[in-house]
Amino acid sequence: MKSVTARAFLIAQSEGRADLHKPVNAEKKILPLKDESVSKRLSIADVLLHRVGLPPHDCLWYLGPGSSKDLARKVQLLDSIPDGFRKTFIYSNLMYSTLAPLFNELTGQDFESWVTSKIFKPLKMESTSMHSPSADQVDVALPYFGAEKIALKDLKAVVSGGGLRSNLDDLTKWLSFNLRPENIEAHPATNELIPLENPSPLQFQGLYWLSEAVVYGYGWFIGKAFGETVFFHPGFIDGYSSIMVMLPVHNVGMTVLANESFSSFPGLLVQQLIADLVGKKVPETAVAVAPPAPPQVVAAPQAISGFYESQSYGTVQISEGKEGAVLKYNGHEWLLNFIGPDTALFSVIALGIPIPLPAQLVRKNGKVESVSIPFSFDPRVAAECFTRV
């Protein structure tokens, strides 16, 4: 979906309705950020190229209710990475989610209607939309986690960052369009883009064929595979995994879709297809290392039950359950496994995989005053502090 969003803005710019490099808050605070110096310079291009310098904060949209407008309001409450603006690549579904309301504000056009009329209809992508399928539809590949069928994830709040509903026929048309020389050339030069440092497996599961530094253009990662330049974008959400790849020199595009959470299959299949195309041998992949043994669990401390509040994330609740202390947030519940007097671990199921997070209790005069949780998924900023209310 990110490549579709980027293309929508590029079309708007070609028609004089938007300027990708003009500060969006120059005349009116449309998308203000907490860091005023960044807020003054922030442009559409900064968001499209993932160089805003804001931590991912995927929990804000993944765990919480709300709309893209709600998320845009919460963004201004979040701390940025120190000196990260235009210097650090941070993949952000959250910032991309702000692009739909930003598009509406800047152009006076409805984002979804624009994408449909300017992209889907001209390319005859008749089976593609930004609406999540309903649970009773029969023409949809059902989402699975292993052998277990799971619920469809509602992605309305992040529609400009993910949640495209499509099929192989339509995605082939999208690849053909993006492979046109003028569209490849529309991306900034790679030396103008920020290289990824230590890319997360959440982004590159199964992509063992990447051999050199990767950068990010307008909605596409750009890297090398077997010495060939590739434009690609993987996608992961509960019950689904996918990848789209383009090799411009060969005028070849590939799409692989799988209805399984966090599957390596799309990336591994593409690896074999690229190797066959360029006449190379697929290297052996490293053997997975067994995870470390979990720490020993201790009894939960007393008198920790209560409600705790954060300005940006809202309210969490800690209560006593049959099996121990339970953390609750927006309808989600996690058992707190204490590994020390004031430190607990819990596991968030995000994008179809478990992600362990610590919860740190902070006391004053022996009483728990707050709990800190690194919902930002980024160690470069302080954990989110929820204060007892």
Instruction: List, for residues 335-344, the tens digit of each pLDDT value.
Output: 999 998 899 9
Q: Domain check: are 200 and 158 in the same one? A: no
Q: How confident is the model at residue 171 (pLDDT cuts 50, 70, 90)?
A: very high
Contacts 24+ apart (CB under 8 A), 253-256: 253/172, 253/175, 253/176, 253/178, 253/179, 254/175, 255/168, 255/171, 255/172, 255/175
98, part of any domain: yes
Q: Domain check: are 10 and 118 in the same one? A: yes
Q: Averaged over 141-155, what is the pLDDT? A: 88
Q: How confident is the model at residue 283 (pLDDT cuts 50, 70, 90)?
A: confident
So what's the pLDDT on residue 126? Answer: 93
259, part of any domain: yes
Q: How confident is the model at residue 290 (pLDDT cuts 50, 70, 90)?
A: low
Q: How confident is the model at residue 153 (pLDDT cuts 50, 70, 90)?
A: confident
* Average of per-residue pLDDT values in the chain: 89
Q: How confident is the model at residue 249 (pLDDT cuts 50, 70, 90)?
A: very high
Q: Averaged over 208-227, what is the pLDDT? A: 87
So what's the pLDDT on residue 139? Answer: 78
Residue 383's domain is classified under what CATH number? 2.40.128.600
Q: Averaged over 290-299, what is the pLDDT? A: 68
Tell which wins on pLDDT, 143 or 288: 143
Q: Which of 278, 173, 265, 186 is nearest to 229 (CA)?
A: 278
139, part of any domain: no
301, part of any domain: no
Q: Domain check: are 226 and 245 in the same one? A: yes
Interaxial angle between packed helices 2-14 and 99-107, expressed in degrees from 0 to 180 and rounded to the nearest 10 = 10
Q: Domain check: are 180 and 279 in the same one? A: yes
Q: Domain check: are 213 and 125 in the same one? A: no
Q: Is the pLDDT of residue 371 over 90?
A: yes
So what's the pLDDT on residue 355? Answer: 84
Report the SS3 class of residue 41.
Answer: helix
Q: What angle do CA 36, 58, 369 make, to 5 degrees?
A: 75
Query: Torsions phi, psi of 40, nearest 5?
Result: -70, -30
293, part of any domain: no
Q: Domain check: are 154 and 193 in the same one? A: no
Listed range (150-159, 202-211, 378-387) with the worst mean pLDDT: 202-211
43, part of any domain: yes
Q: Give the Cα separation of 201 and 99 in Å (integer).
A: 25
So what's the pLDDT on residue 192? Answer: 81
Q: Domain check: are 34 and 82 in the same one? A: yes
Q: Is the pLDDT of residue 181 over 70?
A: yes
Q: Domain check: are 370 and 335 in the same one? A: yes
Q: Give the Cα separation of 169 and 377 in Å (integer).
A: 36
Q: Domain check: are 156 and 184 in the same one? A: no
Q: Is the pLDDT of residue 212 over 80?
A: no
Q: Is the pLDDT of residue 311 over 70?
A: yes
Kindly state the percentage of the chain with pLDDT values over 90: 59
So what's the pLDDT on residue 349? Answer: 80
Kindly report the pTM of this predicted structure.
Answer: 0.90
Q: How confident is the model at residue 66 (pLDDT cuts 50, 70, 90)?
A: confident
Q: How confident is the model at residue 321 (pLDDT cuts 50, 70, 90)?
A: confident
Residue-wise pLDDT tens digits, 103-135: 999 999 999 999 999 999 999 999 998 876 665
So what's the pLDDT on residue 322? Answer: 82
246, part of any domain: yes
State the residue range of the domain holding 381.
306-388
Q: Averaged over 383-388, what is the pLDDT? A: 94
Q: Domain check: are 153 and 172 in the same one? A: no
Q: Domain check: are 92 and 39 in the same one? A: yes
Residue 181's domain is classified under what CATH number? 3.40.710.10
So what's the pLDDT on residue 195? Answer: 87
Q: Is the pLDDT of residue 168 over 80?
A: yes
Query: β-strands 343-350, 353-364: how paired?
Result: antiparallel
What's the number of domains the chain is made of?
3
Q: How confident is the model at residue 9 (pLDDT cuts 50, 70, 90)?
A: very high
Listed range (166-170, 230-234, 366-370) with the worst mean pLDDT: 366-370
290, part of any domain: no
So what's the pLDDT on residue 291? Answer: 61
Q: Domain check: are 199 and 114 in the same one? A: no
Interaxial angle between packed helices 68-75 and 99-107, expressed in degrees from 0 to 180 and rounded to the nearest 10 = 100
